[in-house]
Chains A and B, each alone.
Chain A
Amino acid sequence: MGEVIVITSGKGGVGKTTTAANVGAGLAYLGKKVVLVDTDIGLRNLDMALGLENRIVFDIVDVTSGNCRLRQALIKDKRLDGLHLLPAAQTKDKTAVSPEQMKALCDDLRQEFEYIIIDCPAGIEQGFRNAIAGADKAIVITTPEVSAVRDADRIIGLLEASELREPALIVNRIRPKMVRQGDMMSIEDIIDILAVDLLGVIPEDEMIVITTNRGEPVVLDQSSRLGQSYRNIVKRILGEDVPMMSLDEEGFFGKIRKMFGMR
């Protein structure tokens, strides 16, 4: 029986979709059978993050409304054996799926996949309710900014009220230099405020733009610190005890790159 993990945040644009794509790809890279479910109906994104946008025939609303069978809507990635995507509908709105339908869908997916990763839309309305309806666990993403942390706090409250207790936190877009200067909240500050467990830390890195442009999840890039930060999260999801990466150094490859004047 698979595990359903929802990736949520409250605030938009903090990195839910990017994280979902990388966590999904990372799990599949380690041999797991994974399906990524895009529940951001009307704002389909996850397909592009994965480079699968040209292969969509049916979508999640086709499945829940009985237009097609689940199998027909699942897109299988060609690079990673275990990776699948159930795309969002682009022309419908968020009320096209109900929480009950979502629950039933998750139960179906559980039969076939080891990990069901749900990419949640922004907000706390029906799209959010749908995304969390069938979930066993929740990951909350925030950036080190006041509004994102505030929204994360609200989401944590709503998750707990929906029996999704002890959500795990990912802090995205941290800038070590600004933290050192005292101009950005540190991981400790954020954990202190939100009082949740930390699942991982992802540095601010323009490489995301490049990998998203190409539709290739950066988690597969073995040489970058960014890829490493996603791989660590994947390992922690699998139950491994991985120490938090130090953000003060750029790592071996970063130093080499700098030595040779590459970026």
Chain B
Amino acid sequence: MLEFFTRLFNRDGGSKNVAKERLRLVLVHDRASISPQLLETLKAEIIQVISNHMEIDESALEVNLDSSGNTMALVANIPVKGMKRAAEA
């Protein structure tokens, strides 16, 4: 029991280091949260760029900011309906 408490209170040289590390991680996510408006803009621009080369299903397009653990990714699911004929081969 005593050992449990000493471990609880002395891990990692004081709880402040735990606090700092937890804050660092949570703020990465907090700061990266993007507004729905920005997400819409991003979608529109992605559609524009990709449409130059492929036919895509705009209504089924999904763009999301995905975060797990301490990493983050912009995940896009873009259903392709067909390829455009290359202007020059």
Tell which of B19-27, B55-63, B74-82 binds the partner. Answer: B19-27
Is residue A47 within 8 Å, beta carbon to beta carbon, of the partner chain?
no
Tell which of B8-16, B43-51, B65-73 binds the partner. Answer: B8-16
Main secondary structure of the interface of A (DSSP, over half): helix
Is residue B64 within 8 Å, beta carbon to beta carbon, of the partner chain?
no
Chain A residue contacts of B26, Cβ below 8 A: 146, 150
* B15 engages A193 (CB within 8 Å): no
* A184 engages B31 (CB within 8 Å): no
Chain A residue contacts of B27, Cβ below 8 A: 150, 153, 193
Chain B residue contacts of A149, Cβ below 8 A: 23
Q: Which residues of A from 123 to 167 have beta carbons under 8 Å from B?
A: 145-146, 149-150, 153-154, 157
- Shortest distance from the beta carbon of B6 to any chain A beta carbon, whole Å: 14
Chain B residue contacts of A184, Cβ below 8 A: 16
The contact of A153 among B14, B15, B17, B30, by CB within 8 Å, is: B30
Per the bound structure, the CA–CA distance linking A185 and B17 in Å amounts to 8
- Shortest distance from the beta carbon of B45 to any chain A beta carbon, whole Å: 21
Is residue A241 within 8 Å, beta carbon to beta carbon, of the partner chain?
no
Is residue A183 within 8 Å, beta carbon to beta carbon, of the partner chain?
yes
Chain A residue contacts of B30, Cβ below 8 A: 150, 153-154
- Shortest distance from the beta carbon of B12 to any chain A beta carbon, whole Å: 9
- Shortest distance from the beta carbon of A145 to any chain B beta carbon, whole Å: 8
Q: In the complex, which residue of chain A has the Cβ closest to the Cβ of B18?
A: A146
